[in-house]
Structure 1
Amino acid sequence: MITLHNDYLTVQINPLGAELTSVKDNDSGLEYMWQADKAYWGRHAPILFPIVGRLQDNQYRLNDQTYRLTQHGFARDREFTVTEQTATRVSLELTADAQTKALYPLDFILTLAYELVDHQLRVSATVTNPATAPMVFSFGAHPGFNVPFGRAAADFTDYHVTVSPKKVYQRVPLVGPYSDTQHSVPLDLTQPLALNHELFAHDAQVLTLDNHETTVMLSTPADDHGVALTVAAPYLGIWSPYPKQAPFVCLEPWWGLADDVQATGDLTTKVAIQRLAGGADFHAAYQVTYF
């Protein structure tokens, strides 16, 4: 396990999946991250690559070949190599090999960097296309946060999600595990969104951000602690498993979507797919402030 530490926070990252597993307040010992209780959800903050969400029939076509790939891709279950580490920063790398090419035939270099700056953890990702031909992929993050933040006096329904800028967002409905991008609906976030488990009866609340910088804060009037995630991404998912009464919420920046209900299976025409020229880099980043 990799440990980062500064005056305010101590962070742990597992090289398996380059997964953030713990963020603790040094003074109080308060744990912000979901601790992967398998009764609810056995992960903390998986990295989503080379797809976000689920493919229809868990398969896709590329260059006239059919490949099988399960939900959110394989990066979350692969061992990353540490390429740089200091007390407050670590960089980890995953590259294509025979096992990944059986699932996704393209060459890639995926680099994740985590950096502690005061009360904030900055997360950045780079996808490099080392080939000459273009590549198509999606990328996402899936961090889960304890709700409540270690206070037995506060309940899940005492928390709310506040989105800035405050406005009416377009929400992408999910039909089962698939996106219905043709029937986006308005979601009024001019006021905080009160949490309740029924909010996730149809899976995640998927907001269209259109790459505009957006801050999503998870907090409660009953307590001073919370998290604020800032990102400029195409989409952001808010999720907690239903009908389980799970004591956590995920705030998920996405550079991609699950297959559309009208998907053809061709990865090159997949909804919200990213395209990267040969020799080029793709960059994604988000920051979480813990308070």
Structure 2
Amino acid sequence: MIYTLENSNIKITASPFGGELHNLTSKIDGTEFLWNGNEEFWKYHAPILFPIVGKVKDNKYIVEENTYSLPQHGLARISEFNMIKKTDTSIIFSLPYSNKTLEVYPYKFELQIRYDLIENGVKVSYKVINKDSKEIFFSIGAHPAFMCPIMPEETMNDYYFEFNKKETSSLLTLNSEGYFSHERLPYLNNKNIINLSKEVFKNDALVFDNLNSNKISLKSKNHNKSLTMDFTGFPYMGLWSKPTGAPFVCIEPWFGHSDYEDFTGEFKEKEGIQSLNIDEEFNCSYTITITV
């Protein structure tokens, strides 16, 4: 079942499968901002990454000397959530641990995804609750994809990312298998604009871990339709589209990231990993605001 929330400006839809947002549509002029999930390019819309972001080495990781297996980006995006609360302006999905999740992720947890309509967009909130009798470890992140171009007569080359502060920043670099090397690539030098093209993503995602900005916008050179994400508090930011070319871009705030290519430690030792003591909860959120 697909659930719908709307106000006078915005309509969103979301699915219990993956707890995933499916649409972010302006009711002013009908413009759709979220990627449509065309399987020719990429079948997702805005998956939730949990309990890993990216890849663990050979899809395997170690907890207390035991080896477990998880696919890229974890289990949430391929799991059925429960809808536990809906109002006129919000909806909450829940993914509780189960015997099935314990086979691949040996911690007892509850993951809640909440969508709240705001005047011109949506607030997306994540809550992780420790339901175990021990400390638990995890990463979590967002992977929303946006139409680029937004208007059909344009191309990706008409668009650019704009940070809200000037950045002098290097990139974490991915190898051909999707793991990070320890090499850093200088990228922005007192700039806040990234002009978009297929070439930008030829080496996979742009991944930042030292941004000053807390907002990023996707804008066109031809009109004022745009979207802005406020990712305050997230330590990592990935920007991605398919290296082979696709009519979307992803803006991905993360707590955690893929393994380094030489990482051999326990899961809890991963860079960027989060921990929760017994009965504690972890909360984070981001907002997407549109302009038409």
String of CA shifts for 1:108-129, please: whole Å, max 9, x gaps.
0101110011002101101011
Paired amino acid for 2:224:
D
User: Which residue matches 2:281?
Assistant: 281
Amino acid at match of 1:11: I
- Deviation of 1:48 (Å): 0.3
Identical columns (%): 32
Amino acid at match of 2:46: A
User: What TM-score, normalized by structure 2, do the two folds share?
Assistant: 0.95
Matched-pair contact (CA < 8 Å) for 2:163–2:213: no
Q: Structure 1 runs of 4+ off > 4 angstroms?
A: none
Amino acid of the structure 1 residue aligned with 2:71: T
Alignment of 1:44-63 (within 5 A): 44-63=45-64
Counterparts of 2:18 and 2:280, CA distance in 1: 23
Alignment map for 1:155-234 (pairs within 5 Å): 155-176=155-176, 177-180=178-181, 182-188=182-188, 190-209=191-210, 214-231=214-231, 232-234=233-235
Partner of 1:82: 83
In the alignment, the residues of structure 2 paired with residue 45 and residue 174 of structure 1 have an alpha-carbon distance, to the nearest angstrom, of 22
**Residue-by-residue CA offset, 1:157-215 (whole Å, 9 max, x unaligned):** 010001122121232111120122x32333216141000111111110001146x6610
- Tell me the number of residue pairs that the alignment of Structure 1 and Structure 2 aligns: 287
- Aligned mates of 1:22, 1:266 — CA distance in 2: 38
Q: What secondary structure does 1:94 align onto?
A: strand
Aligned-partner residue type, residue 159 of structure 1? Y
Are residues 1:13 and 2:10 paired? Answer: no
Name the CA distance, whole Å, in 2 between partners of 1:67 and 1:132.
20
Question: Distance in 2 between the 1:290 and 1:125 partners?
Answer: 21
The superposition leaves residues 70-102 of structure 1 with CA deviations (integer Å, 9 ceiling, x where unpaired) of 100010111111111111111111110011111
**Conserved 8 A contact 2:146-2:248:** yes
* Alpha-carbon separation, structure 2, partners of 1:213 and 1:123: 19
Partner Cα distance (2:3, 2:36) in 1: 16
Unaligned runs of 5+ in 2: none
Other-structure match for 1:70: 71
1:209 touches 1:233 (CA, 8 Å); kept in 2? Answer: no
Q: Which amino acid aligns with 1:128?
A: I
Which structure: greater strand fraction? 2
- Give the Cα separation in 2 of the matches to 1:39 and 1:120: 28
8 Å CA contact 2:126–2:285 kept in 1: the answer is yes
**Could you list the runs of 5+ residues in structure 1 that have no partner in the other structure?**
none
Aligned counterparts of 1:18 and 1:265: Cα–Cα separation in 2: 31
Distance 1:72 1:200 in 2: 19
Secondary structure at the residue paired with 1:30?
coil
Q: Secondary structure at the match of 2:191?
A: coil
**Distance in 2 separating the partners of 1:265 and 1:35:** 38
Q: Secondary structure at the match of 2:162?
A: strand
Q: Partner residue of 1:149?
A: 150
- Following the alignment from structure 1 to structure 2, what is the Cα–Cα distance between the partners of residues 261 and 61? 15
CA distance in 1, matches of 2:210, 2:141: 14
